[in-house]
Chain A
Amino acid sequence: MERVECIVVGGGLAGLSAAYGLAEAGVEVMVLERGDYSGAKNVTGGRLYLKPIRGIYPELWDEAPFERPVARELVTMMAEGAHTTVEIASDRFTAGAPQSYTVLRARLDQWLAEKVMEKGAMVVPNMKVDELLRQDGRVIGIRAGEDEIGADVVVVAEGVLRLLSSAAGLATQPKARHHALGYKEVIELPPGVIEDRWHLNPGEGAAQLFMGECTKGMMGGAFLYTNRESISLGIVVGMEDMRRRRDGTESWQLLDEFKELPQIRPLVAGGTVAEYSAHAIPEGGISQVPRLAGDGYLVAGDAAGFCLNALVTVRGMDFAVAAGHLAAEAIKRAKAAGDFSAAGLASYEASLRSSFVLRDLETARTIPSFMENPRLFTHYPRAVARLLESVYTVDERPQDGLVKKAWKSVRRDFLNVATVKDAWSARRI
Chain B
Amino acid sequence: MPMKIDAKLGLDVFKLDKEPHIVIDTEVCNTVCTDDACLYVCPADLYERDDQGRMTVNWEGCLECGTCLICCDPRALSWKYPGGPYGVQYRMS
Contacts and interface: CB of A to CB of B under 8 A. Distances in A.
A176 B37 CA distance: 11
Given A39-B90, A160-B66, A183-B65, A278 B44 contact: yes
Interface string A21-61: 00000000000001111011111100000000000000000
Interface of B: 2-3, 5, 8-9, 11-12, 15, 35, 37, 39-45, 63-67, 69-71, 73, 80-85, 87-93
Nearest to B67: A181
Interface residues of A, number: 55
Contact of A278 (B37, B63, B84): B63
A239 B67 contact: yes
Interface stretch (A72-80, A91-99, A241-249, A323-331): A241-249
A163 B15 CA distance: 21
Interface in A172-205: 174-176, 179, 181, 183-186
A44 B66 CA distance: 15
A39 B70 CA distance: 22
Interface of A: 34-37, 39-44, 104-107, 126-128, 145, 160-161, 163, 174-176, 179, 181, 183-186, 230, 232, 239, 242-246, 248-252, 256-257, 259-260, 273-280
B90 A106 contact: yes
Contacts of B89: 35-37, 40-41
Given A104-B93, A252-B5, A275-B91, 16 more contacts: A40-B90, A42-B93, A105-B90, A128-B82, A179-B70, A181-B43, A181-B67, A184-B93, A232-B93, A239-B70, A242-B41, A250-B40, A250-B45, A251-B40, A276-B12, A280-B65
Contacts of A243: 35, 37, 41, 71
17 contacts: A42-B90, A105-B90, A106-B90, A126-B84, A127-B84, A128-B81, A239-B41, A239-B70, A242-B37, A242-B40, A251-B43, A252-B42, A273-B11, A275-B93, A276-B8, A279-B65, A280-B70
A163 B12 contact: no
A105 B92 CA distance: 6
Given A43-B90, A276-B8, A256 B2 contact: yes
B2 A260 contact: yes
Contacts of A36: 15, 85, 89
A175 B66 CA distance: 11
